[in-house]
Structure formats: structure tokens, C-alpha cells
Chain A
Amino acid sequence: MRSVCTVSERVQETPSTITLRFDYPGIARPGQFVMIWVPGDDELPMSLSYVGDRKGVTVKVMGETSRRMQGIPVGAKVGIRGPYGNAFDLRPPRILIVAGGSGAAVLAPAAEAAKENGAELCVALGATTASELLFDQRFQAMGARVFRSTDDGSVGQKGYVTGVAAELIAARPFDAVWTCGPEVMMQKVIRAAEPAGVPVFCSVERHMKCARGLCDACSLGPYHVCVDGPVFPAPALTLLDEFGAFKRDPAGRRVRA
């Protein structure tokens, strides 16, 4: 069932990223997503970046629809259905979070929930440049240790966040790694964690239509991201020839992931 919600808050998080908040009561677990519909425009799957009664999604400009979604003003009405999908297991006591770009959107609420459970958190936070680091303050505010990287070296370590992640995994003991970002990035995180034997959980994105496990638009090997995901343990993904290789476009054609 779809609810119509009013956008109550719009926050410019980085030059390319905004957060929309809306009151949508009900329990959502960190990692889950909603289908958000801009009337007259598309409906998109978006991981929740806030999971309380006042929920939120954090939108980065990726294409035409996300650009238009960024233009939604406070007071606008949006359709919401969900939450759908699975969630992060919040039990591990020592967690490394590896966030590339807008991947921090789904990892931040999971980190907050884990912190409430008493987990120790390290965050490897990467972006193209300093101003694009998403939820840097939010991770610090929850008491996580944040290690930054930027492609241009404007803040933190210069290079990709996978470099920072690999160093952290080599230097410290972790019970789990949570990651979200481009699939090639997540593949590198998985490889970095392998020698240390730390289980990795990835939040994966695919084009979605029904979000209820019927239409097959989000098929990923034997899985459907909408019901079996979006959070997958690494071994489920690394066995698939399509993870990091291809996804399906709205017509069902294979296109590069």
C-alpha cells in the first residue's frame, strides 16, 4: 500500500547530495529501502538514510530522475511504499564501515543502530573531493572513528576508500565489514577482508519495478535484490559472474554494472 507523505525537511548534504525527510510511521530496519514516487515522475527504490518515524532518503544526482528529485521542495507530496528488503545484522561488536560516495546514505542509520547496541565503529569514508564526503559529521557525532579519503587528496588520504579500508583491516580486528558504493569498490573491499577472514556485507543496487519479488527487474543471479537483499553477505555475491559486471536496464537487457 502506498502512502502520500509531505516533505517536511530538505537538507543539502553535499554539493551533489540532498536529504528529504518525511513522516512515514512504522518500523524500518537500517538497510531496508522504500519506493519513493514523485507524482508525475518516476518511482525509485531508495535506501532509508533515516529510519525513525521521520524517515529520510538521501539522493545523489545520478541521472535525470534523481536530478528532478533533488528539486523537490519542502511541502511537496511524495508517494511512499515499503519498507522492503532485508537489513544489516546489528549484532557484531566491532564493525568497519566502508562507504563510497552516496553509499554512506544506507550505512549511517545502520551505524547509529549498531552504536546503540554498543558496537565499536570505524568508518572509511571516501568521496571524489572534501565537500562530497557524505555524513562525515553524522558519523563523528555517533562516536565512530572516521578515516577519510578523497580522489583529489583535498582531505584525508589521496585515492580510493578501498586503500584506507585495506589498511584498517590489516591493522585492527573487526567482526564485520559493511560496505556500500560502486560494485568494483565493494569487490575490492571483499578481497581486502578475505585474508583476515572478516565477513563482509554489501548493500547492492539494481533497477526495480515491483519491489515485491515478482517482476524480475532486479534479478541478480538466483536472487532478487528487492526481497533477498539489498544487503548480501559477500560469499553470495562473489560466486556470481554478474556482480561487478552487469545489471539489467528497464527493458531487461544486460548493461554494465
Chain B
Amino acid sequence: MADLRARFAGIELRNPFLLASGIWGESGTSLKGAYEAGAAGVISKSIGSAPRSGYPNPTVEEYGRFGFLNAMGLPNPGIEEYPREIAIARAAGVPVIGSVFGGDATEFAALASKMADTGVIALELNLSCPHAEGFGSEIGQDPKEVEAVTRAVVAAVRIPVIAKLTPNTADVVELARAAERGGASAVSAINTVRAIAIDVRLRRPTLSHGMGGLSGPSIKPIGLACVWQIADQVKIPIVGVGGIETAEDALEYIMAGASAVEVGTAVAFGGISVFGRLVADLSRLLDELGIATLSDAVGAARAGSAPPAG
């Protein structure tokens, strides 16, 4: 049986599958449920300084098997209320990564510090939500901001800091380099791809916010390309995310250079039990391919990478 443990940025996980931020992240019981279903860890909903209702519905548009378009608008109960949910998950032994979003480096640092106090094992910085004015990718598209935010957060906490990057940029590698310069322990890539849908009968966008972000199988090749490009240019580890539905999808990301992966939209297709299936399938797949430990597969598809150790 292959060794599925994922190790990166000082974090050790029982397998490479993390619950992506924004999925099942409102209640501690749900986070616990994802872990019990097989996820190695869970990433919280993105939390801000104050409670935020997000955009009015419709916040989601469905594309059948291709995935979803969403503009939730960063709904969250705020950093003062949310720790009770993390506490529920932590009490059950769940490794929780806390996701935060802020409007500038100072706000990010203050949030990160409060989030670290809840006992999360790492932080993920939302520098990539594609549809929230003043937050997310509006900051995360600017390498200077990415560096400044990362540096401020790294100075404020003692746990690993993962910068979640946006694909909605001319050069994702620049963003990854900026996060590395700022002292990030890792980057995660990608967040949703900016997208919109229009109802021709109603002559209007179908989401209340208009612009949204695309997730699911249709963005997997885009996420893979970003991970591939980043892996070439930075030394810090990468968490791959975008359209992962099967163990083979995950292994693609890992062979492109990711040390772990996040899974989100697939929960809509397979339910939360998708995590158990991914773990079992990845174990079988590695055995079939003669890969003894997951870490041997990291970056294995890259030119010049060492052949897998027996």
C-alpha cells in the first residue's frame, strides 16, 4: 500500500486531500464531517473582520457536469463569532487551516493573528476571490500587495502561511514569487476563474452580482497550467486546486508540482463521501503505477525530475 501522507511547509497530513475554502465551511459540524469522510484537513470559510451576508441570491449558476459559477460575496459571521465553529472541529481532532480575507495588509495581519489564536494549523490568505470589491483578487492581482500582505501576516503569526493565488492575471508566476518574497510557506493555486453568465430571455446576468467565478472540472486544465508554471519558478511548496474530481485529477496536480490538493466543487457531484473515494482510488492508483510514497510523485511529470524511488 502506497504511503499517502503529504508533507509540506512543516504540515503533515494523512493524505493530500484538503476541503477547499468556502465548501462546507459555515459550521464546525460540517468541517468535522468532511474530515470524517476522509479529508486530511479542512480549510475554513474565508473570514473577515465583521459579519457579512454576501450578495443576494442568485449566488450560484449550475453548468451540469462542467461545474458552477458563483458569486457568494464572501459571506461570513466575522472573526469574533467564527472561532466557536473552529473549536467544534478542533475538539474532534480535525486539522483546520484558517482562511482570512482583508482589505489591506494591516487588516489581514490583525485577522491572521486572531485566526491563529483559534489553534488552526496554518493560514490561507484569500488573495483571489474574483468578485468582491476591495478584497480577494482586487488585491491579489497586484504582486506588490501580495508581497506586502504576506509579509505582514507572516510577521504576525507563528504558523505556516499559504497564499491562495488568483488565475485572473497575466502572470500567476509573478504572484507566486511575490508571496515567496513576502515569506509565505506555500502557495495554493488556483481560486475560481472570473466568469459571467447571461440569461438571454431576461436580458441580464444570472447572478445578482453579475460577475462570478467558475469552479469544477472545466477549470482543471487552467489550474494545472498555473501549478506547472509556478513550480518552475518558486522554491516553496504548492497546494493544487481547481476541478479535482478523481484521484487521477489529483495525481495530475501532484505530478505538475503540487504537494497537496484542495477539493471543493466535487462535493456537489459525489457528496462528501467523495473524499473517501479519492483516498481509496489514489492509493490504488499509486500502487498500480508503482509509486511507493506520494512525495515521490510530486513534480514527477516535470522535465529532469528524478525517477520515482522504489
Chain A residues in the interface with B (C-beta under 8 A): 1-2, 4, 35, 37, 39-44, 77, 79, 81, 208-217, 219, 221-222, 224, 227, 248-254
Known: A210-B60, A216-B27. A251 touches B271 (CB 8 A): no
The answer to whether B26 touches A219 (Cβ under 8 A) is yes
Nearest Cβ on chain B to A234's Cβ, whole angstroms: 19
The answer to whether A249 touches B53 (Cβ under 8 A) is yes
A residues near B141, Cβ cutoff 8 Å:
none
The answer to whether B53 touches A77 (Cβ under 8 A) is no
The answer to whether A43 touches B52 (Cβ under 8 A) is no
Q: Which 9 A-B pairs have the closest CB atoms?
A: A43-B57, A216-B26, A250-B53, A43-B58, A219-B27, A252-B26, A252-B77, A251-B51, A210-B60
The answer to whether B75 touches A210 (Cβ under 8 A) is no
Instruction: Name, among B54, B63, B78, the residue most crowded by chain A CB atoms within 10 Å (CB to CB).
Output: B54
Among B8-16, B117-125, B198-206, B297-305, the stretch in contact with A: B198-206
Closest A residue by C-beta to B81: A253
The answer to whether B57 touches A251 (Cβ under 8 A) is no
Not counting A2-B199, A4-B199, a sample of 6 additional A-B residue pairs whose C-beta atoms are within 8 angstroms of each other reads: A1-B62, A215-B22, A222-B29, A248-B26, A250-B75, A251-B52
B residues near A224, Cβ cutoff 8 Å:
30
Interface range for B: 35 or more
Closest B residue by C-beta to A212: B268
Q: State the CA gap A254–B78 with chains docked (Å).
A: 12
The answer to whether A4 touches B24 (Cβ under 8 A) is no
Whether a CB of chain A sits under 8 angstroms from the CB of B68 is yes
Partner of B72, one of A1, A79, A215, A219: A215
A residues near B30, Cβ cutoff 8 Å:
216, 219, 222, 224
The answer to whether B202 touches A4 (Cβ under 8 A) is yes
Known: A43-B58, A251-B76. A214 touches B264 (CB 8 A): yes
A residues near B81, Cβ cutoff 8 Å:
253-254
Whether a CB of chain A sits under 8 angstroms from the CB of B59 is yes
Known: A4-B199, A39-B202, A253-B81. A216 touches B25 (CB 8 A): yes
The answer to whether B23 touches A214 (Cβ under 8 A) is yes
B residues near A250, Cβ cutoff 8 Å:
53-54, 75
Nearest Cβ on chain B to A222's Cβ, whole angstroms: 5
Q: State the CA gap A209–B201 with chains docked (Å).
A: 23
The answer to whether A215 touches B62 (Cβ under 8 A) is no
The answer to whether B75 touches A79 (Cβ under 8 A) is no
B residues near A216, Cβ cutoff 8 Å:
23-27, 30, 45
Nearest Cβ on chain A to B161's Cβ, whole angstroms: 24
A-B contact pairs, 10 of them (CB 8 A): A2-B61, A81-B62, A212-B68, A213-B267, A215-B26, A216-B24, A216-B27, A251-B54, A252-B45, A252-B76
Whether a CB of chain A sits under 8 angstroms from the CB of B64 is yes
Partner of A35, one of B24, B33, B58, B68: B58
B residues near A1, Cβ cutoff 8 Å:
62-64
The answer to whether B204 touches A39 (Cβ under 8 A) is yes
Of residues 42 through 74 on chain B, the ones whose CB sits less than 8 Å from some CB of chain A are 45, 51-54, 56-64, 68, 70, 72
The answer to whether A214 touches B24 (Cβ under 8 A) is yes
The answer to whether B64 touches A37 (Cβ under 8 A) is no
The answer to whether A210 touches B70 (Cβ under 8 A) is yes
Nearest Cβ on chain B to A41's Cβ, whole angstroms: 8
Nearest Cβ on chain A to B115's Cβ, whole angstroms: 15
The answer to whether B56 touches A42 (Cβ under 8 A) is yes
The answer to whether A214 touches B26 (Cβ under 8 A) is no
Of residues 84 through 141 on chain B, the ones whose CB sits less than 8 Å from some CB of chain A are none
Whether a CB of chain A sits under 8 angstroms from the CB of B265 is yes
Closest B residue by C-beta to A1: B62
Q: State the CA gap A104–B171 with chains docked (Å).
A: 56
The answer to whether B271 touches A227 (Cβ under 8 A) is yes
Closest B residue by C-beta to A37: B58
The answer to whether B60 touches A209 (Cβ under 8 A) is yes
